[in-house]
Structure 1
Amino acid sequence: MLKNWGAAITCAVALCSFAGAASAQPSSPVGLPGTVGADVRLKLERDGKLTVTEVVSVPEGRTAKRVVPLRIAVSDTRDRVFEVGNASVQGKGTATSSADELVIALEPGTSTVTYSVVGAVAKIGDTLELRWQPASGWDTALDSVKVSVITPDAPKSVNCLAGAPGTSKPCTTAELGDGRGVRATEIGLPAGERIDVAVGLQDGAAPANARIEETSGLAAAFALTPVTGVVLGLLAVLLLGGVLLLWYLRGRDARALAGDVGPVNVLLTDGSGRVAFASPDGVLPGQVGTVVDEHVDVVDVTATIVDLAVRNYLWIEEVGGMDWRFVRRNPADQSLSGYERAVYSALLPDGVDSVLLSELRGRRIDLSRVRDALYADVVAKNWFARRPDAERSLWWWAGIGLALLGVALTVLLALVTGPALFGVVVVVAGVALALGARSMPARTKRGSALLEHVRGLRGYLVSVQPGDIPEADREMVFSRSLPYAVVLGETERWLGAFAGGQPGLYWFGEAEQGGDLRRFAHKFPAFLGAVDGVLAQAGHLRSLHS
């Protein structure tokens, strides 16, 4: 009998020794042979970033894949969004992350997966909470999952749920450890189910960095996402590129307008000593205004009428003190440019040899031919590559069309809860294009050079004195320069300088008395104002004050 008790005691000791040896073995993520096990360690840093290390054992002949959605619904209209970075695998497998998901694919063996998570810390009411799913989206069942969490300060609480998404089944075990740790375990996690760990943190343990995005309604449609942010950035680059292009095209003009420019040499002396006026690059008064401001204006036509009188195509006669008559002197010939012939025909059509300015007020004058011919002239002279008005119109309509397309796109995307900011981007681009249309016409190199010469011409009009011109040539030089003074806004100064030096003019007179330059200087501004008023009524042209 003692023998039997001795055998029993020996057996018991052996069994206890085996059990003790087994319990002394190091922990492993592997549960039972042929099963997948995971040991997941979470560490929350002071800056709010969560560092995750997953040690996963996959038995021979098996593979394991985990797909982690990074958008988790917190309500019918809102998602909580996580950002995963620095995903890597030590062992046999891969780990990749995108804006929508983290994908881990492992082959047989023990692999260590590491990655970081931003967005795991949230302020919920008065509580600061760390939340992450250390196991979810596996395509195979896990025999066991061990989870440990380290936080900067001692955690206040832990809540661990395991099971299908949406269920509230608690994990097998979950407890606060000593100091800053949390431990949880789940035995037997079926494929596709998840473990969701929420740890209550001390105030100030880490900054809240959770991101919530609307998934429906206008707020979602107009939410600023990484994709819409990139598109907005591209728009900014595009607009900047457009500004740089305009700067390049306008750079010649900016240089022409910069710095001081002295008077240009517009007074030429022939072999006999006679002095004559010659405009730079042969530019006519009406063309000067169009080259300078890129528009055909009323003042351009008024200056052209004065120039036609100066060149003996018209005679201007004052009638009754407040009216003026235009009389045909010579027919329009090939010496006139296309727009000058259009002005001549609009003023004195075929069969009409004279007309009062007061009569023109009641007659509808068509100046569209004048405008078209003047724009065609500045292109033919190679001062512009294309008609400035057509260039402005093209870009304006393109901008309006793009803006309307953007409005339609915005409405459509908002209705389907798409990224409506794309449509807003298109609207902004269209509006910018329409507003920039007025700056799109660009002068050629020759046009920019002429712009500089026109500044010099203005310097001549401001600085020249009657004594600089021989008396015999003074009337002609004064008259030929006057239309340029009109279009450049120097009429008052030009009249004031020369009014006392000549008895009259060869192209302007009064019905009841001989020409008097002093009286002309007094009346001429009223004449210009009256002509501008009649032409402005005709339409088609921009008035001086528009």
Structure 2
Amino acid sequence: MVFPAVRRCDTVRCETHEQIGDRTLLKTSSVGRVQRLLSVLCLVVLATFLGATAAHAEGPIADTYEFDGQLGPDGILKATETITFGDAAPDRLTQRLALRAPIDDTRSFVYEITGVQATIGGAAADAEVTEDGDYLVVALDTSDAGNQPITISYEVSGATRSDQGATGELTIFSWRALQGLSVEVAEVSGTIRVGAVVELIDCLAGPPGAVVKCELYAAGTHDAPLPTFKSFERGIGEQVTITVGVAGSAVAATDVVHEDWSLNRAFAITPLTILTALGALLLGALALYLLHRRTGVDASHDGEFAPVATFRPVGDGESVFEIHDGVRPGHVGTVADERVDPVDVTATLLDLAVRGHLLITELPHDQHGLLDWKLSRTETGGDELAAFETQILDAIAPIGGETLVSTLPATLSPVIGNIQSALYDDVVQRGWFESRPDSTRNNWRRIGIIGVVAAAVAAGLLIVFTQFGFLGLVLVLLALALLWVADRMPRRTKKGAKLVSGLGALSSLLTTHPTDNMPSGRELPEISRLLPYAVVLGGKGRWLEAMVRADDDATPDPTDISWYHAPETWHLRDLPASLTQFIHTVQGELFAR
């Protein structure tokens, strides 16, 4: 080993030109003491340095470490390391070969090292090869090696990468020719044999994280046609990294880049990731729009609509309400909002009572007690009942039976699903929908839920393993949009679309038509016919007030309305409050079921 030069410290001589007897002797004595102190100090410094040098030199030191690398056109490096010791080799020699090299905070090159072999004095040696995290550890028993040369050979894939140089595309080879050795090395040298003109070369040496330029490295010269390098005095675990650049066509790139997960990586903002996410968003939105247009938007019609109901003139300034095509109040709400709601069932109960199939009786109550009503089946109605109307009647008031509004939850709960199903079937049978609205919604909801789950899984995979996190978020957004569109999928036919237009006109008619045009003396039955429709479409209050104005005396009117009976003291002026409370109570009971 070459040791740093030791600076010698000479004895200091001091002279005086004053000759003053004893004083001259005193000065000479002082100078002598200073000389002795300086001599002691020099000895201490020298001893300290020699001790440090001796400590530094403890253990075997390799005289030479020669690296021979053959870089093939396929980008595979075949490396052979030859290590010599002037004295005996250590009992055990190990080398840690890095399987990764950092590029930045989140990326690193990954190397594949194979075919590790070793020899001692030309004879094959048993090399113990293990993996320790990001390192391949090669261990040799060198207790009997003496001063025989020791070789370690292996092949490396991943040490070449493509880059752009001044003259075009280059293949950059970079490898730690010396790394992770368990002994110090006095002299490191090496040659990279590559069958191409070298366009750049660099060499760095030193402890990891504190490397400097190698003392010597050259390529393409008379003395060094191949890339060569040298470095001296390398400590345990220090490294020498050689980098060579050749034409891209001469050597293939074999680099493998591993990226550690991070939010910045998962949601990388690059032209590719942003354009991919935007493209998926636009295509997905277009697909949802076309899907909704095809499946959820009502069939177009000519803009004209058939009146659902009219006020037919029957005399001078008099008219009566007439419904067309058998449209029931329960149909109105179902076709309008595509759902069977409690208001639809409530309006159906009123309509059945008005048509003579049901009698609503308000029960007597204390001043501060709760109102309740009795629902009784009657046989005065002579028109045909729809299937859902029959199911309602059979549930709440079988022939000869009755029920209380307060018990509706228990009465209707077992059959309300069948009633809703029958009403959905009826609107399809009448040609207002292509398929049952509830089935259509449920099918698309299932598709939407499956889409959300699949999109969430895809987003998770994209976020964890790629840079396309924004694409994953777009997929989840589109799946949620599909789930939102699912509730808007039921498609009305042309006939159904016309009916909806007609219902809008009827709603306007019920809220604007004069309420005093009913035939005199027939106000109560005529207004009763439109009342269930007003409950669904609006205008109920003004028509109830018109019924109140039909009362021309001060006597109680408990049975003046054929379909609504009340206690003996009840007047028509109580109808708005009684009927409004009946409607709210029935809806509340249905919601509470």
TM-superposed deviation, 1:421: 5.4
Matches of 2:275 and 2:564, distance apart in 1: 68
Q: Secondary structure at the match of 1:471?
A: coil
Cα RMSD (Å): 4.7
Deviations 1:259-312 (A, max 9, x none): x99997512358999954333543210111111111111011010000001100
Aligned 1:436-475 pairs, distance under 5 A: 436-475=485-524
Q: Shift of residue 455 of structure 1?
A: 1.0
Deviation at 1:467, TM superposition (A): 3.2
Shift, 1:531, TM fit: 1.5
Is the contact made by 1:274 and 1:473 (CA closer than 8 Å) also made in structure 2? no
Q: Distance in 2 between matches of 1:529 and 1:502?
A: 25
* Aligned twin of 2:345: 301
Pick from 401, 404, 413 the counterpart of residue 365 of structure 1.
413
Say if 2:196 is the partner of 1:142: yes
- 1:243 aligns with 289
Instruction: Measure, in 1, the Cα distance between the counterparts of 2:195 and 2:407.
Output: 100
Counterpart-to-counterpart distance in 1, 2:346 and 2:274: 54
Q: Contact between 2:268 and 2:467, CA under 8 Å: does it hold in 1? A: no
Q: Which residue of 481, 505, 515 corresponds with 2:530?
A: 481
Identity of aligned residues (%): 30
Report the 3-state secondary structure (helix = DSSP H, G, I; strand = E; otherwise coil) of the residue aligned with 1:267.
strand
User: What is the match of residue 245 of structure 2?
Assistant: 195
**Cα deviation 1:304-351 (Å, max 9, x = unaligned):** 00000110001112210522221211289881111111211221135x
Which of 204, 207, 223 lines up with 2:268 in the alignment? 223
| Match in the other structure for 1:268 | 312
CA distance in 2, matches of 1:460, 1:217: 65
What's the TM-score once normalised by structure 2's chain length?
A: 0.53
2:162 & 2:494 partners in 1: Cα distance?
58
Q: Which residue of 2 is the match for residue 318 of structure 1?
A: 362
Does structure 2 conserve the Cα–Cα contact (< 8 Å) formed by 1:317 and 1:508? yes
SS in 2 for 1:518: helix
**Is this contact kept in 1: 2:361–2:564, CA < 8 A?**
yes
464, 477, 483: which one aligns with 1:434: 483
C-alpha separation between the residues in 2 aligned to 1:466 and 1:524? Answer: 18
Q: Within 2, Cα distance between the matches of 1:467 and 1:416?
A: 75
Aligned mates of 1:253, 1:231 — CA distance in 2: 35
What is the distance in 2 between the residues matched to 1:330 and 1:272?
A: 35
Q: 1:517 aligns with which of 568, 572, 577?
A: 572
Seen in structure 2, the aligned counterparts of structure 1 residues 328 and 244 have a Cα distance that, compared at 3 Å, is same
**C-alpha distance 195-307 of structure 1, shift in aligned 2 (>3 A):** same
Distance 2:198 2:461 in 1: 49
* Structure 1 residue runs without a partner (length 5+): 1-64, 81-100, 104-116, 121-130, 148-159, 175-185, 198-212, 539-546
Match for residue 161 of structure 1?
202
Amino acid at match of 1:356: L
Q: Distance in 1 between matches of 2:172 and 2:493?
A: 65
| Structure 2, unpaired ranges of 5+ | 1-72, 76-100, 110-160, 174-192, 205-210, 229-242, 248-256, 366-370, 553-559
How many angstroms apart in 2 are the aligned matches of 1:448 and 1:171? 86
Aligned CA distance change for structure 1 residues 389 and 489 (closer, same or farther; 3 Å):
same
Q: Deviations over 1:367-405 (max 9, x none)?
A: 111111111111112222122222222222222222222
**Whole-Å Cα distance in 2 between the matches of residues 102 and 268 of structure 1?**
88
- Cα gap change, 1:299/1:253 in structure 2, threshold over 3 Å: closer, same or farther? farther
The answer to whether residue 585 in structure 2 is matched with residue 535 in structure 1 is no
Corresponding residue of 2:186: none
> Which digits, 9 at most, give the CA deviation of each residue in 1:457-485, with x for residues without a partner?
11111112233232254333201100001
Q: 1:380 aligns with which of 429, 432, 439?
A: 429
* Count of residues paired in the alignment: 379
Q: 1:273 to 1:312 in 2, by over 3 A?
A: farther
Q: Secondary structure at the match of 1:266?
A: strand
Question: Which of the pair has more CA radius of gyration?
Answer: 2
What's the secondary structure of 1:307's corresponding residue? Answer: helix
Corresponding position of 1:154: none
Are 2:219 and 2:225, in contact at CA under 8 Å, matched by a contact in 1? no
C-alpha distance in structure 1 between counterparts of 2:565 and 2:484, whole Å: 47
Cα gap change, 1:447/1:143 in structure 2, threshold over 3 Å: closer, same or farther? same
For 2:477, what is the secondary structure of its paired residue?
helix
Q: 1:368 to 1:482 in 2, by over 3 A?
A: same
Relative to 1, partners in 2 of residues 1:492 and 1:275: Cα closer, same or farther, differing over 3 Å? closer
Letter in 2 for 1:78: R
Q: Which residue of 1 aligns with 2:118?
A: none
> 1:456 deviation in Å?
0.8
Deviation at 1:419, TM superposition (A): 5.1
Structure 2: how far apart are the matches of 1:331 and 1:476? Answer: 14
Q: Where do 1:16-31 residues align within 5 Å?
A: none
- Please tell me the residue identity of whatever aligns with 1:490: G
CA distance in 2, matches of 1:499, 1:262: 32
User: Is 2:457 aligned against 1:402?
Assistant: no
SS in 1 for 2:391: helix
